[in-house]
Chains A and B, each alone.
Chain A
């Protein structure tokens, strides 16, 4: 049985939000993704797990459009459109959001200014009305409160001097303000203690909705206790070798990657 047969309850292609088809991609001439295929329908939460070097981060950066990732064959469709020809900002405006594993510290750019610029840049790209300062402040205050982000954090330069947990909460705040259709969480659990992890997961869960999908990329099963996936995929050597429901993650935790990848091979 193909791993793909398990996923996507939708009957026709019109219900597929993201479709990655036999994707091969290289970084600096080295092939990292070797035939990655994945379908995500609206409202679904998919987890990709895999050992180091499997291509997890490449997958997230390739979807968000970072320079230096060369697609050699295959395609990616997002809501039926070719995703790979779009610039990162266009992908964002179309509804793709990447929560970074290591959010960048940018001294000299205030968090508030950054948030407002991003919200209005996306609105502009989508041809929607822009928010004025008052409307924006109301929105950001309400959202920040919901996600336990303090006003003081908003006034600081972007991510500068933030703890690991604060940086990740700031990512979730951005996600909440930008309202993406597909949120990609790249190793959101890395560098977080259990309390910080719970807080971040709580924020993510508040954003779950029937029209919003998540792709949760992680090395460890732990995160999936808090953000419970509909589907779990194991990525090894550039492609998905096993797919299953959330129990697959538990088995992985028990038996380790070698055992499960070995079985699949």
Chain B
């Protein structure tokens, strides 16, 4: 198993899947397969993939990067465990968490979710999405009924470890979250370890007045390769709150493609990427305002050390029908080494007249004057740097409403920082 996940591996694997007994799935896969075979894997010639070279990352031999370090989970959450992309049946009970295994849904010719899987927010030309649709096997479906609140946060834990994490055709997971009118839920997707290659597609359908807190914790190993996509359709007065915290990996990309389709629909995104030597982390956001008085907010912060690369592409599209839209975006990157690289690209495409849109992007280093101030008070350099980096990230974490989740995020960040201490060169 020297090389994994080439284009041909994917096609071969796709050809081996038969879904004759489930016509809706057969048709869905067939279309995805055809589109994927036509488009191939995304290349850097495509604008959206300019800063993330998937083919190059896939050509490198898969390796092991040590045991997975689990991410902190909030107390009281219902955990569903996936090991190397497969639901760990004996160790988790999705039904107790209010969820169904995707396998069961895919095997059901009559499932009501047939009209949602692959159709929540269709993107015909999205190669990763098509790849995932053609090959998805495992995952979860969460359906919360009208005016119901999921009693406990759903914590979906993905551990990627050992040989099983590095199958030739990769592992492809699908999560479908359906919140009916006025329903509420908190869903946490947590990854640790190093998938050889995986795709994760999370489809989110929020009906009127529904509220979802969607958290992603990516504590990957250095060899991890993952391309993930979150697709959300947000109807009137519904709210999607996303919080994405990632250490990146050999190749890690998460796209959030959100459509605010109903009046007063909201998307509120916070993101932190913390990358060390040899890592790549790409956050690509496209928010489409398609309903009147819709609001979106994006706050992203990145701290990059070693020779790592962090990417933030944040695009806001305001359709002509989205009068009264309010869109804000702020992204800041902190370069902790001379070799680190940040690619920050805000984009606005406004087709309505009466809108409020703002964006800001900065890249900088730790302020030497602030560092000296702290050191002059007796705080050692490494600790002073930690304090300043935590301060830089604090605003994003503070926006999380749940104290338990804030504690998880803080623990995640402080763990990353303590791992960095050794790499910090001392000026004196």
Question: Which residues from chain A sit less than 8 Å from chain B, CB to CB?
Answer: 64-67, 87-89, 91-93, 97-98, 100, 103-104, 106-109, 113-114, 117-118, 121-122, 125, 157, 174, 178
Please, which residues of chain B bring their CB within 8 A of the CB of A125? Answer: 378, 380
Q: In this assembly, does B428 line the interface, its C-beta being within 8 Å of a C-beta of chain A?
A: yes
Which residues between 138 and 164 of chain B lie within 8 Å of chain A, taking CB atoms? none
How many cross-chain pairs have Cβ atoms below 8 Å apart between A and B? Answer: 83
A88, B383: Cβ atoms under 8 Å? no
Interface hub of A64, A89, A106 (most chain B Cβ within 10 A): A89
Given contacts A87-B428, A117-B383, A121-B383, are A106 and B378 in contact (CB under 8 A)? no
Name 9 interchain pairs, CB-CB below 8 A, sorted by A. A65-B375, A87-B428, A89-B375, A89-B380, A107-B394, A108-B391, A108-B394, A118-B377, A178-B378
Please give, as numbers and ranges, the residues of chain B lying within 8 Å of A104 by CB-CB distance.
Answer: 367, 369-370, 373
Chain A hits for B395, CB < 8 A: 108
**B372 partner residues in chain A, CB cutoff 8 A:** 64, 66-67, 88
Interface residue? B20 (CB, 8 A): no
| Cα–Cα distance between A98 and B369 once the two chains are bound (Å) | 13
Task: With CB as the reference atom, state the residue of chain A lying closest to B426.
Answer: A87
Cβ–Cβ contact B381 & A87, under 8 A: yes
Asked if A89 and B388 sit within 8 Å, CB to CB, the answer is no
List the B side residues contacting A91 at CB < 8 Å: 376
A113 to B394, CA, bound (A): 13
Name, among B367, B370, B427, B428, the residue most crowded by chain A CB atoms within 10 Å (CB to CB).
B428
Asked if B379 is at the interface (CB within 8 A of a chain A CB), the reply is yes
Residue of B nearest to A102 (CB): B369
Q: Does B49 contact A (CB under 8 A)?
A: no
Partner of B376, one of A88, A107, A157: A88
- Of chain B, the residue at the smallest CB distance from A119 is B378
Among B373, B427, B428, chain A packs the most CB atoms within 10 A around the CB of B373
Q: Which residues of A contact B380 (CB under 8 A)?
A: 87, 89, 121, 125
Please name all residues of chain B whose beta carbon is closer than 8 Å to the beta carbon of A67 when the two chains form the complex: 368, 372, 427-428
Give the 10 A-B CB pairs with smallest separation, nearest first. A108-B391, A92-B378, A122-B378, A108-B394, A118-B377, A88-B375, A104-B373, A109-B391, A121-B379, A121-B378
Most B C-beta atoms less than 10 A away, residue of A65, A103, A108: A108
Interface residue B113 (Cβ < 8 Å from any Cβ of A): no
Minimum C-beta distance from B274 to chain A (A) = 15
| A103, A113, A117, A121: the one within 8 Å of B373 (CB) | A103
Q: What distance in Å separates the Cβ of A62 from its nearest Cβ neighbour in chain B?
A: 12
Q: With CB as the reference atom, state the residue of chain B lying closest to A118.
A: B377
Residues from chain A with a CB closer than 8 A to the CB of B379 are: 89, 117-118, 121
Name A88's closest neighbour in chain B (CB-CB).
B375
Q: Which residue on chain A has the smallest CB distance to residue B391?
A: A108
* Given A67-B428, A87-B428, A114-B387: A92 and B377 interface contact (C-beta under 8 Å): yes
* Residue numbers in A under 8 Å from B373 (CB-CB): 100, 103-104, 106
- Evaluate contact between B377 and A178: CB separation under 8 angstroms: yes
B375, B388, B427, most chain A CB atoms within 10 A: B375
The reply to whether B376 and A65 contact each other, CB–CB distance below 8 Å, is yes
Once A65-B376, A67-B372, A88-B376 are accepted as A-B contacts, the answer to whether A108 and B381 lie under 8 Å apart by CB is: no
A61 to B373, CA, bound (A): 11
- Contact status B376-A98, CB under 8 Å: yes
Known A67-B428, A117-B387, A121-B383; contact A106-B370, beta-carbon cutoff 8 A: yes
Question: How far apart sit A107 and B427, CA to CA, in the bound complex (Å)?
Answer: 24
Contact of A106 among B391, B427, B428 (CB under 8 A): B391
Say if the beta carbon of B321 comes within 8 Å of chain A: no
Q: A89-B381, A108-B390, A121-B377 are in contact. List 18 more A-B contacts (CB 8 A).
A: A65-B376, A65-B428, A87-B380, A87-B428, A88-B375, A88-B376, A88-B428, A92-B376, A97-B376, A98-B376, A108-B391, A108-B393, A108-B394, A109-B387, A117-B387, A121-B383, A125-B380, A157-B391
